[in-house]
Structure 1
Amino acid sequence: MTTQSPADRHRRPLPVVQVLAEDGRHRTICRMCHGGCGAIVTVDGGDLTAIEGDPENPNNHGFLCAKGRASLEHLKHPDRLATPLLRTGPRGSGEFREIGWDEALDRIAAALDRARTEHGPESVVLAQGTDRNYQEWVFRFANSFGTPNVLGPAHVCFYPRVMAGILTAGGFTFCDYEGRPDLVLVWGSNKALTHGDGVIGTRLLASVRDGTRMIVIDPRRTQLASRAEKFLQVRPGGDAALALAMIHTVIEADAYDHEFVEKYTVGFEDLAAHVADYTPEAVAERTGIPAEEIRATALAYAAAPSAAIELGTGPQQHRDSFHTCRAVLLLSAICGNLDRPGGDVLWDPPGIDGRRSFPRAELLPPEQAAKRLGGDRHRILAMSGWAHPGSVWDAVLDPAAPHRVTTMLVHGSNLLLNYADSDRIRKALERLDFLAAADLRLTPTAAMADVVLPVGGWLERDQIVEHAHYVAARRAFARVGDSRSDEWILTELAHRLGLSADFWPDARDSLDTRLEPIGMDWRQLAEIHYRATPLVYHKYRERGFGTRSGKVGLRCDALRAFGYPLLPVAGPPVGSPEDGPYLLTSAHSPFYFNSEFRDLPSLRSKEPEPLLDMHPEAAAREGLADGDWAELATRTGRIRLRVRVTDKIAPDVVVAPAAWWYPERGADGGWREANVNLLTSNEDENPEMGSSTFRGLRCTVTRVP
């Protein structure tokens, strides 16, 4: 198997890499994933020659994962896009010709202006993938342009937790490993390997080495589970029921923090009455966990002098996503673990013009905000500023939609791989009047665009990194071909569309402005590289919680206006046994980041094929052995994966890889062969956030030659 695509006529086999930094060792922040690890880049003889972890960075203390170590391979990959492209063949054919930046930007600006004039600015959708520190730029451009429709994976990634935190306690939380918690619940998170949002796994592991106890809750017996004092193998989709049963147990045993509950919460009596029916016995079958294990875990958590909950994205990718996040936060609150040393600390912004202020939400008129797609159905998602993907596709394909979507500008998102119901997305992209994509390589989604723009990776940008613990400078070390940053692209489009008043002559000019509130400029931050954000505990004692009542809303009265339950609930299982004997969940590989990096040989060699994890009993039942190919099917679609037999999952659970495609197969990338999102749909969505059900789908598995 080869992992290198044949050079198409529109791509240079070896893009020219221009080095922008002087020889030496330079501190920076990696962005091959969300982690924010410190890194050191070595420039020698006018070339980038090495990248390693920064031992002085408190986030990772010199550790750098396989993805981070592959950064130079990513930078210099022969399939990097090096110049803007104009499509000359059918959508998806990969047939393009090279054009200059002025022509590319003029074409995109003309399409955006035409849509704005003929159908209104809401007919334009801006999409982005996992945030690479330019999310606030996408929102600023959208607000200035007048469209409320920004599309991203927020509904299944981090934002159910963010919005649950904001509505319940006035902000979102992260685990305080500096405070050395006595106990950590690692819930639906393989933190040591995947380094998701918030605080990366090395901080957790360091805390465990120093004596922190760990309980792991996950459908898979992960590497972390082998080091935990308890492992609860929850069934996919059973997280909300488990959290509510733990709350029931803590209240029933009178093990909650009476002082915190009395002084700083509202609705405790309502919560106690509400969870009365969520006994461990009542949820044992739904969760797959014996009642005595649920009780023991809840009481161990409540008895810990300090405890934190590391909630992953898995529990946020289900119909109960918002309720799960609320219930987990309520468990933390009634045990007195909110905003305390070693607990779940409320995030305080670092003072720069950053994630909260830079998007300039006030630029979007209220009448335009009311046109946010999905806002009528998924009101908490709309409140966070995001459009709902299913509603976006409806607005392209359904003539009866509230308004048409005709035009999309996509930044760093392989839409066909990362959203539910991939075939419907393909139909929507084909129907658009105009599609532009800014990306590092020609993905299956970019291959459908009318204009493709080459962007730089994290080693090619000057950026301000706003992290949970610090503000830091990420400097541009190189430039590949004629690529540009997403920030530069959005700024140039703004000038062409008459939006210059809300931007700068050049994107880099914004860096000084954003740092002014903390009395710094870009040169100063680049010199010191890293500015720690002081961690303040017990902020609520001085200023209360950032809710209407000033207290933690165990009963969230703010939800009444939206028509949603004031207390978290666990809905019934999705689907029925007639849909298949197995429960399907998916997992992210430690070697890839969503749909990225399968074109990098050093990473692809570690996991060369899409693997379907099956328990030995399930494999034997279906006549499958380790290494066989199998067809995985739901009522929505079917895909082909190679079986990996493992006892780390339950006999009725199967685990598929997320966002799999084959970059070596050219523009199409074989995106339909192993893409788990051909099996998902926009049915069974979470009402509040519109979260798709990626976990706990009923499925069948059959052997194929």
Structure 2
Amino acid sequence: MFDEPLMEDGEVLGVCPHDCPDTCSIVSTVETGRLKRVTGNPDHPVTQGHICRKYAAWPRRLYGPDRLTQPLRRFGPKGSGRYEPMGWDEALAEIGDKWQRILADSGPYAILPFFGSGTEGMVHGHIAPKRFFNRLGALQPVRTICTKAGREGYRATMGASGRHPPMRISETGLVIDWGVNTAATNVHQQIFLKQARAAGAKYVVINPVAITGTEQADLFLRPRPGTDAALALAVMHVIVKEGLIDRKFIDNHTLGFKEMSARLADYPPEKAARITGVPEADIVALACLYGETPHSFIYVGPGCQRHSNGGMTVRTIACLPGLTGAWRHPGGGLYFPTSTAFPGDFSALEGDDLRPNAPASYNMIRLADMLRGDGVQSLFVCNGNPASVLYNQNALRHELGREDLFTVVHERLLTDTARFADIVLPATTQFEQNDILFSYYFPSMALNHRAIAPVGEARSNLNLFRQLARVMGFSDAVFGESERDIVEHVLALAQPAIQGIDRSVLEASGWAPTGVDPVHEAFARHQYPTPSGRIEFLSETLAEMGKDPLPAYVPPKESPDGSPDLFERYPLQLITPSGHSIHNASYADKPGFKHDEKTPALYLNPDDARRRLIDDGRMVRVFNDRGSFVIWARVSPSVREGVAAAPGQWWDCHYPRGGCANVTTPDFPADMGGGSAFNSNLVQVEVYAGEERDGG
């Protein structure tokens, strides 16, 4: 494993490193030592030879003129992007000197790491950075930005993140995509959806914005953002009223049906119609279709939980399969995509035992708060771009602009965050390093074999942290471990799912399914990992936390019902769904790599545009009390009235006046897990009367 020399010509098996459910198996074609083509592995049961167009563009991105190939030192103002080359030895010595002085004067919490999901590789994305900063004694970032609220809400109902084999949905009679556009975020789900449709399954889309495939849906509901829980409560109201429940399943496998039924009585369809904006007849139609089709599958996307009420929203939706007994049927139930759905725990390899102090962490979405004041004197960023993806960007960038904040960024490109760095270090890509990754969609692990030598002076995370350990004087044996050593540690973990992996299959095929998943097995036996061992309509755990123990609807903090006075000033709900060309903030570097979206765009309903005298293609200003940005309008009936949608996390350089949608997003957390609430965001939109910036 990983012993083979690099090939001048040939094909190399790898895996996509992004935080995406598919975790595609990749075939990299190398010619004369250069990456020429990237395709999907035809022998993988999920990838099936197909990869998204984003990843297929890598050969051009890898050798593009914007690729960082040597360390850089800032000489202009922070944010200006003005840098000059420096050597690796000089860069490491300067970082080590500054960090040693900060440690001596202010302690380890004065050095703050930020790393996200830029790579999900166990070696380079998780273990290498966590080991180093544990040894340093620093605060560790808790990854709350994507699905934390929904994860906690799902756990309150079901006890753990569910494992739902994607291929089984072809056996169901009804598929519901709720707050998700899998054509952009989970492309291979489309294969299994088509199989289900071909077998006669009905298809329902619930989304404020039309998605790929909406035109083929049997039913399309467009609730106001953040009102999904009210819709779910009304659907359950009808199911109970019409006797469409599975009484035997409820009696044997759920807790709190009587108490929840009393709550449901408060949500008749006519009330939910007023809250959600979904016609009463459509709510009843959905309820009858779901109740009459117990072998049903719901895919709940992250979008509907990125609200101040996001945890309770997912908890409430997750009650639906328990009412109809959908979990009894092949392919039935509910799936919420989150990395905790993988049946493995790697924390033993992350270096808690290396710490000179007690383990401690911070919520990554509170980065601006952490940087406020003079407590944090140095920031290190890898695997992430906080100056693009975090909310309330004006507040964050004010702190990133501190001249007394020594900032180091390890990156492939000069991102919005890298422009605030004092030192930028060139990073490798997945094609230039070895790793092992897991899939939380199709329970499996995959090996990534490096295909080419690093471009220029780029170094991997593992290499970088080994060198940083040296300049910091850390002599612990773990900092001498190779990629292979760490992968062997991963595969040696005494856990059923990992021990069940067939090493010969893994090494020969590049991937292998995991072994027995105790949680999946428990779900299959209807022995749920909740305190009661049942699906909990009534949660004493939530009650002990001071939260409503029953599924509930609470208006989003910023919304027509949650803040009516604010709504009078800012009458549009801005959401930032995933785009087809950009994965989070990745692939936002060059328009030439994009197929679907060429520029940032704000989608407005024709009625909303007409009231504001906005024509399609016109530059508009989007604003609220937190900030404003300028963007091109796209007038389309694909978005419901009262909603504005800005897909993708575009970098500043693509907006006509700089800035980005996240200058307007709120900095309050969701109701559970400290998750993000990006979509609870009220704005106003007007025609922009200024000029486009030079080079915009």
**TM over 0.5, yes or no?**
yes
Residue 418 (structure 1) aligns with: 389
Instruction: Measure, in 1, the Cα distance between the counterparts of 2:405 and 2:250.
Output: 55
AA at the equivalent of 2:298: I
Asked if structure 2 preserves the Cα contact closer than 8 Å seen for 1:557 and 1:566, the reply is yes
Asked if structure 2 preserves the Cα contact closer than 8 Å seen for 1:170 and 1:547, the reply is yes
Q: Does 1:482 align with 2:472?
A: no
| C-alpha distance after superposition, 1:284-319 (max 9, x if no partner) | 122111222112212322322422211112112111
Asked if structure 1 preserves the Cα contact closer than 8 Å seen for 2:365 and 2:676, the reply is no
Residue 513 (structure 1) aligns with: 489
- What is the deviation of 1:499? 6.6
Instruction: Measure, in 2, the Cα distance between the counterparts of 1:106 and 1:150.
Output: 25
Residue 438 (structure 2) aligns with: 466
Asked if structure 2 preserves the Cα contact closer than 8 Å seen for 1:124 and 1:149, the reply is no
AA at the equivalent of 1:149: Q
Please, which of 656, 676, 697 is the counterpart of residue 661 of structure 2?
676
Asked if structure 1 preserves the Cα contact closer than 8 Å seen for 2:112 and 2:376, the reply is yes
Asked if structure 1 preserves the Cα contact closer than 8 Å seen for 2:319 and 2:537, the reply is yes
Residue 694 (structure 2) aligns with: none
Q: Does 1:45 align with 2:32?
A: yes
Instruction: Measure, in 2, the Cα distance between the counterparts of 1:542 and 1:184.
Output: 23
Q: Does 1:286 align with 2:249?
A: no
Instruction: Measure, in 1, the Cα distance between the counterparts of 2:352 and 2:333.
Output: 28
Q: 1:200 to 1:496 in 2, by over 3 A?
A: farther
Instruction: Measure, in 2, the Cα distance between the counterparts of 1:189 and 1:701.
Output: 25
Please, which of 497, 502, 511 is the counterpart of residue 530 of structure 1?
511
- What is the deviation of 1:216? 0.4
Q: Does 1:186 align with 2:171?
A: no
Q: 1:342 to 1:529 in 2, by over 3 A?
A: same
| C-alpha distance after superposition, 1:338-384 (max 9, x if no partner) | 485302478997776x5454435576699543xx44xxxxxxxxxxx
RMSD value, Cα: 3.0
Q: 1:427 to 1:55 in 2, by over 3 A?
A: same
Q: 1:349 to 1:698 in 2, by over 3 A?
A: closer
Asked if structure 2 preserves the Cα contact closer than 8 Å seen for 1:174 and 1:310, the reply is no
Please, which of 219, 222, 227 is the counterpart of residue 208 of structure 2?
219
Q: Does 1:31 align with 2:10?
A: no
Asked if structure 1 preserves the Cα contact closer than 8 Å seen for 2:12 and 2:451, the reply is no
| C-alpha distance after superposition, 1:206-240 (max 9, x if no partner) | 43344332110000121221121110011111112
Residue 692 (structure 2) aligns with: none
Q: 1:482 to 1:283 in 2, by over 3 A?
A: same
Structure 2 runs not aligned, ≥5 long: 494-498, 690-696
Asked if structure 2 preserves the Cα contact closer than 8 Å seen for 1:125 and 1:151, the reply is no
Q: Does 1:571 align with 2:539?
A: no
Residue 646 (structure 1) aligns with: 636
Instruction: Measure, in 1, the Cα distance between the counterparts of 2:152 and 2:348.
Output: 17
Q: 1:163 to 1:362 in 2, by over 3 A?
A: farther
Q: 1:282 to 1:77 in 2, by over 3 A?
A: same
Q: 1:519 to 1:661 in 2, by over 3 A?
A: closer
Matches for 1:203-282 after TM superposition, within 5 Å: 203-282=192-271
Matches for 1:189-200 after TM superposition, within 5 Å: 189-195=180-186, 200=189
Residue 396 (structure 1) aligns with: 371
Q: Does 1:698 align with 2:685?
A: no
Residue 593 (structure 1) aligns with: 583
Q: 1:339 to 1:690 in 2, by over 3 A?
A: farther
**SS of match in other structure, 2:396:** helix
Instruction: Measure, in 1, the Cα distance between the counterparts of 2:607 and 2:521.
Output: 50
Q: 1:33 to 1:389 in 2, by over 3 A?
A: closer
Bigger drift between 553-562 and 610-619 goes to 553-562
Q: 1:116 to 1:208 in 2, by over 3 A?
A: farther
Residue 160 (structure 2) aligns with: 171
Matches for 1:44-123 after TM superposition, within 5 Å: 44-123=31-110
Asked if structure 1 preserves the Cα contact closer than 8 Å seen for 2:631 and 2:656, the reply is no
Asked if structure 2 preserves the Cα contact closer than 8 Å seen for 1:59 and 1:203, the reply is no
Q: 1:604 to 1:267 in 2, by over 3 A?
A: same
Residue 620 (structure 1) aligns with: 610
Residue 573 (structure 2) aligns with: 583
| C-alpha distance after superposition, 1:453-501 (max 9, x if no partner) | 1111222221112113211111111221111222332344345442725
Asked if structure 2 preserves the Cα contact closer than 8 Å seen for 1:612 and 1:641, the reply is yes
- What is the deviation of 1:101? 2.9
Instruction: Measure, in 1, the Cα distance between the counterparts of 2:502 and 2:455.
Output: 27
Instruction: Measure, in 2, the Cα distance between the counterparts of 1:655 and 1:351.
Output: 35
AA at the equivalent of 1:394: D
| C-alpha distance after superposition, 1:431-458 (max 9, x if no partner) | 3532111111111211111221111122
Instruction: Measure, in 1, the Cα distance between the counterparts of 2:460 and 2:609.
Output: 47
Instruction: Measure, in 2, the Cα distance between the counterparts of 1:689 and 1:519.
Output: 32
Instruction: Measure, in 1, the Cα distance between the counterparts of 2:546 and 2:36.
Output: 57
Q: 1:149 to 1:351 in 2, by over 3 A?
A: closer
Bigger drift between 695-704 and 646-655 goes to 695-704
Q: 1:644 to 1:540 in 2, by over 3 A?
A: closer
Please, which of 302, 306, 321 is the counterpart of residue 332 of structure 1?
321
Bigger drift between 25-34 and 261-270 goes to 25-34
Instruction: Measure, in 2, the Cα distance between the counterparts of 1:229 and 1:311.
Output: 18
- What is the deviation of 1:260? 2.7
| C-alpha distance after superposition, 1:551-600 (max 9, x if no partner) | 22322222334333222332224233322232222222201112222333
Bigger drift between 132-141 and 463-472 goes to 132-141
Asked if structure 2 preserves the Cα contact closer than 8 Å seen for 1:32 and 1:67, the reply is no
Please, which of 450, 453, 466 is the counterpart of residue 422 of structure 2?
450
Q: 1:580 to 1:95 in 2, by over 3 A?
A: closer
AA at the equivalent of 1:437: V
- How many residues align? The count is 656
Asked if structure 1 preserves the Cα contact closer than 8 Å seen for 2:154 and 2:311, the reply is no
Q: TM-score, normalised by structure 2?
A: 0.86
Q: 1:514 to 1:26 in 2, by over 3 A?
A: same
**SS of match in other structure, 2:167:** coil
AA at the equivalent of 2:370: A
Residue 6 (structure 1) aligns with: none
| C-alpha distance after superposition, 1:138-196 (max 9, x if no partner) | 444444433343054x23x1222322333432321254332222211101111022328
Bigger drift between 596-605 and 643-652 goes to 596-605
